[in-house]
Amino acid sequence: MKKKMTTITICLIVALVLGIIILPFGFKEDVFKGNYLRSNWSCDITLTNGITDPGHSVTDFTVDKTGEYSFSYSWMPEGINSKNIYSLNPSVYRFVTTMHITDSEGNIVYNTCGGAVTVDTKLMLSAGSYRITYSYFTDRDAFTAYAKEYLCSALEAEELADDIDFNALGGDGSLTLAYSLTLRRNNDNIAFSIWIFLIIVLMMVLLGLFLQARTAKAFDERQEIERGRGFRIGFITFAVSLFLVMMIDILNILPMVHSHVLYTAAFFPGLVSYVLYCIEHEAYLALNEKSTGVTIGFIFVGIGNALAAFTNAASGKMISGGKLDLPVINALCAVIFILILPAAMISKKISSSKETGTDDDDEE
């Protein structure tokens, strides 16, 4: 029976590995090839007596399939980025920028008057050709006419114009605007989801084999008692941390963090307290099990989470809607598995070595 189970496990692992390798080749979707569309360009704008030349710029793109798309775009003065753009006043670049998207029949599918800005949004787009038009204004009447046609009602257009200090715009000079467009199809993510699911299942199978190998090693009676106590302490710690998280969420004490991040983080104090207790009372490692391998395993997991945290931070996924989002958990895991748990393991090993040395001296 044991041999049969081993054969089944090996076949399962092989099937999962083959699925992870073959699946990207079996799907001809762009989700495995990066972004569906990415484009960067710039436009040189000259101001003469307050008149912009050109008065607008356009770019075209084509959508092959109907569906929901993640649409990321930005247009801002050269040398400025998303971190400092909002601190600028429109008078710095001396004209107002707007944008609208039309389909091949001239219907407006999206518009904004956000000025120089970077934005992520979702759009339902049908298969076909589209044109993005960026317009530049220094004159109130021209801006109001544009807003009435492409953005909003006449009253709202006047209100928008009232918020702009046109007296501070215009003049003479030149400026380069840098543009960026990224378009990703969302309804093709099923292939990517299956791929990630296979990876998770493979990790669970390998983790199960690792835990099975560990539990096969003997723990003496004292260790089992200490592990039971550690579990109780961990459970109580988890219950307390969950209650605190509930209070933080209800009272909105941390408005800069999403609720689901708080509730996910609530699991970690209980887990860490359980592991630390077992390490301290020499009940985490089985008899004759070396701490070196486990410590390296902790660090390996921590490095993986640190890399994921760095990638998420670089791509801006740490924050959504102005709040810390779930990817921040990778940073928390990195701290726990690189610093806290290895430090506890190494500290206990040093302490045990000193105690062993003291006992040897006493015997002499």
pLDDT digits (tens, 9 = 90+) for 74-114: 777 766 665 565 565 555 667 888 888 888 888 888 887 76
Q: Integer distance in angstroms from the first to the last C-alpha of the chain?
A: 52
- Which helix (DSSP H) or strand (DSSP E) does residue 306 occupy? helix 291-314
| CATH architecture, domain defined by 33-185 | Sandwich (2.60)
Average pLDDT, the chain: 78
Provide mean pLDDT across the span 36-48: 80
Q: What is the pLDDT of residue 325?
A: 83
Q: What is the pLDDT of residue 2?
A: 46
Provide mean pLDDT across the span 155-159: 78
Under 8 Å between Cβ of 88 and 80: yes
Confidence of residue 32 (pLDDT cuts 50, 70, 90): very low
Q: What is the pLDDT of residue 84?
A: 61
Higher pLDDT, 116 or 228: 228
How many whole angstroms separate alpha carbon 295 and alpha carbon 280?
14
Contacts of 322 (CB under 8 A, 6+ apart): 256
For 47, phi and psi rounded to 5 degrees?
-110, 125
pLDDT > 90: what percent of the chain?
Answer: 9
Higher pLDDT, 209 or 108: 108
Provide mean pLDDT across the span 258-267: 86
pLDDT tens sequence across 214-261: 555 577 888 889 989 999 999 999 999 999 999 998 888 888 888 888
How many whole angstroms separate alpha carbon 134 and alpha carbon 179?
10
pLDDT tens sequence across 312-350: 787 667 877 668 888 888 899 899 999 998 898 888 888
Which single residue is written with the structure tokens 């996910």? 264
Domain residue limits, the chain: 33-185, 217-356
Cβ count near 58 (within 10 Å): 12
Provide mean pLDDT across the span 59-84: 75
Token representation of residue 121? 């949004």
E strands, the chain, are 37-48, 51-53, 56-63, 67-77, 96-103, 108-112, 117-125, 128-137, 173-185, 319-320, 323-324
What's the DSSP call for residue 24?
A: H
For 239, phi and psi rounded to 5 degrees?
-60, -40
Q: How far, CA to CA in Å, does 262 sit from each of 266, 323, 330?
A: 6, 12, 13
Alpha helices in 82-126 (DSSP H): 90-93
Q: What is the pLDDT of residue 33?
A: 46
Q: What is the pLDDT of residue 272?
A: 92
